[in-house]
Structure 1
């Protein structure tokens, strides 16, 4: 009888212990299965944003279990507590990328704005003088170059600058004729001959200041000056000091570089992309 009573008491004690353990497991299960924003959490203490299958990470689930795509358990996706974008631990706030991934992928952030983008067109080019701004310096009479004031290609010149002095026997004879008429007032009462001789000097490219000079001094000038028709640089020198010039021959050539041409070698396949007024950047 005593053995029977002892056995019954033992079974009752075991039943009470099992009941207590079952209650503790239920409490632990209920604690571990609590929801945050409708997503079942685990026992790690971290906030689970969603559950996902690593093989198909685009599909999200709100509770753990077996993946419907692969024969594997779903994995929890935790919130990055050190990410400023995860302040409310919600996946609906945007894409969350860890700082390590940002560094590994070389991601750069920039404020959104309007930009012009598209495939750039690059071409090799060169700067050339404007062919409409070349000036040839010539003489209308033959002569000899006695002085040059510009001596090398690339020398700068200014409009009206004397660039050379020429000795021309034909012009010297015309000066002497003009000076002789200035003393013959009885023959040329109306001054028409004097004016004709003066105009001849001007046609032979003697400057007005030089004509006024010989008129005042009464002496012919052995040399006459040649002046630059425009500002620029010396592009070509056709003769040196002491050289002979024929009538109409080129003494030098001056290029005005105040406006130049940019010659770009654009491939034929890109020619259709060019339009009048298209802006270009020169480097």
Structure 2
């Protein structure tokens, strides 16, 4: 038996077989630990990724930029926004919501406000000037023809009291009429009607009955007659000089009684529905800082100025202390209650993002550990100055983002979720809003998928009236979906459809409204018709 075993062992085939089996066994031992090792490696890599999953900062305009800390984009100098946060997930968070860590919320200065229902009041701001009350203004005319021998009022702005002699006139016609009177007195027994006719003639020339009787008794005539003021006030216009020859009806002076004046304001047609006669109006004057004047609207001009698209709104004000002077600039504020919208939701203007056709806000989700914000499309009502009335889209008690909404929206765009540029994830819409590099001039960003372009142009102006006029002129061009004028930078931001219009047409429309652009200059007549506070040319 032993010999058989030895013989089998010495067989080279058996030896080869044993070596093969030993090799297979060793291979099994080695590779059987592979999966465990691989699992450990994968777990280690996962732990490594988790350990290094800190915030990544990127640019909303250049998503290829990745930074490990906040700062400025090296391409466009915009503030970087957080792409990945350290905040943990939360099962209650909506899949379409944008999550930001508490640190990212603080760095982006995101602020929220709980909305509530209110009785809205629209703040209508008006600009105008102090003017003379036309009913208290009179022209001082000469009732005889002749030469001005003496002028008692020598300059514009001089005070005049009623009954004061303002001029002495040498009149040959008056001299002849007085001589006719003396002849008629001699013939009064024969022709009494002639005497009465001459007396009436002199009365028409403003001679009193006492003066006529004195001429009859004395028998003396004089070619000189005095012109007296028929009202008291301030001389606002002096039309003659001493020695001038005048005819009957010549206007010597225009005199205005400034004890009561008008404050006349320009109201845009969009504001007229919120103004009515009897509304209280408070206004201030640049020349009297810290002092507020009040009055009620007494008249609204029913005719709209075709150039400025405004109507005149008048407020009557007493001026017993002579503080109000014609020509002073006035700024008014009217608080008009919108009774038809009582108990409606009102939100700050800063909460709204516009896309041309849509208006959106971001609502903070309640009861979540990680701050999360969800896009809501809203329907806006009338503008209330610094706020908007909301007709639908949010409910009473919702907490909306009032500062930092654009940062959240940029994060949503980068994450491929619903945003102002994406009505639905992955599908572009026509509305678009972009930012430009600091210091850049007029330029355009093409968006073929949206079909719209964003552009800027330089437009001259000074005040809020200019802003409304410029934006309305731009929006009147077919194809323009949004227009916003920055009064500080003098830049008009536009979203428009290049298939329907171009920058040249928009620039022409703005220039026709009275504002110079970097392409066209406003006509001088149109510019001269602008209110005084809008005169931007030196």
Note the C-alpha offset of 1:142. 1.9
Query: Which runs of 5 or more structure 1 residues have no equivalent in the other structure?
Result: 1-115
**Secondary structure at the counterpart of residue 123 of structure 1:** strand
Counterpart Cα distance in 2 of 1:230 and 1:137:
9
Q: Is 1:139 aligned to residue 142 of structure 2? A: yes
Q: Which moved further from structure 2: 273-282 or 130-139?
A: 130-139
Where do residues 4-83 of structure 1 align in structure 2 (5 Å cutoff)? none
- Out of 156, 160, 163, the residue aligned to residue 159 of structure 2 is 156
CA 1:124–1:209 in 2, change beyond 3 Å: closer, same or farther? farther
Runs (4+) of structure 1 exceeding 4 A deviation are 116-119
Note the C-alpha offset of 1:155. 1.6
- Please give the per-residue CA displacement for 1:227-270, whole angstroms capped at 9, x wherever unaligned: 22222221211111111102332222222323322111334443
Counterpart Cα distance in 2 of 1:278 and 1:131:
22
CA 1:174–1:268 in 2, change beyond 3 Å: closer, same or farther? same
**Equivalent in the alignment of 1:122:** 125
| Contact 1:245–1:251 (8 Å) recurs in 2 | no
**Secondary structure at the counterpart of residue 122 of structure 1:** strand
**Equivalent in the alignment of 1:173:** 176
**Secondary structure at the counterpart of residue 273 of structure 2:** helix
**Secondary structure at the counterpart of residue 169 of structure 2:** strand
Q: Is 1:200 aligned to residue 194 of structure 2? A: no
**Secondary structure at the counterpart of residue 226 of structure 1:** strand
**Equivalent in the alignment of 1:12:** none
Q: Is 1:279 aligned to residue 261 of structure 2? A: no
Counterpart Cα distance in 1 of 2:243 and 2:253:
15
Counterpart Cα distance in 1 of 2:204 and 2:268:
51
CA 1:203–1:135 in 2, change beyond 3 Å: closer, same or farther? same
**Equivalent in the alignment of 1:210:** 211
Note the C-alpha offset of 1:169. 0.2
**Secondary structure at the counterpart of residue 128 of structure 2:** strand
**Equivalent in the alignment of 1:260:** 261
Where do residues 103-122 of structure 1 align in structure 2 (5 Å cutoff)? 118=121, 120-122=123-125
**Secondary structure at the counterpart of residue 206 of structure 1:** coil
Counterpart Cα distance in 1 of 2:161 and 2:120:
45
CA 1:207–1:151 in 2, change beyond 3 Å: closer, same or farther? farther
- Please give the per-residue CA displacement for 1:181-210, whole angstroms capped at 9, x wherever unaligned: 22345534xx32222111111122323343
Q: Larger Cα Rg: Structure 1 or Structure 2? A: 1
TM-score, reference length from structure 1: 0.52
| Contact 1:147–1:165 (8 Å) recurs in 2 | yes
Counterpart Cα distance in 1 of 2:120 and 2:134:
36
Counterpart Cα distance in 1 of 2:193 and 2:188:
11
Note the C-alpha offset of 1:153. 1.4
Note the C-alpha offset of 1:144. 0.5
Note the C-alpha offset of 1:140. 4.0
Query: Which runs of 5 or more structure 2 residues have no equivalent in the other structure?
Result: 1-118, 285-538
Counterpart Cα distance in 1 of 2:143 and 2:245:
13
Over the aligned positions, Cα root-mean-square deviation in angstroms equals: 2.5
Note the C-alpha offset of 1:118. 4.5
Structure with the higher fraction of residues in helix conformation = 1
Question: Whose RCO is larger (CA < 8 A, sep 6+)?
Answer: 1
**Equivalent in the alignment of 1:235:** 236
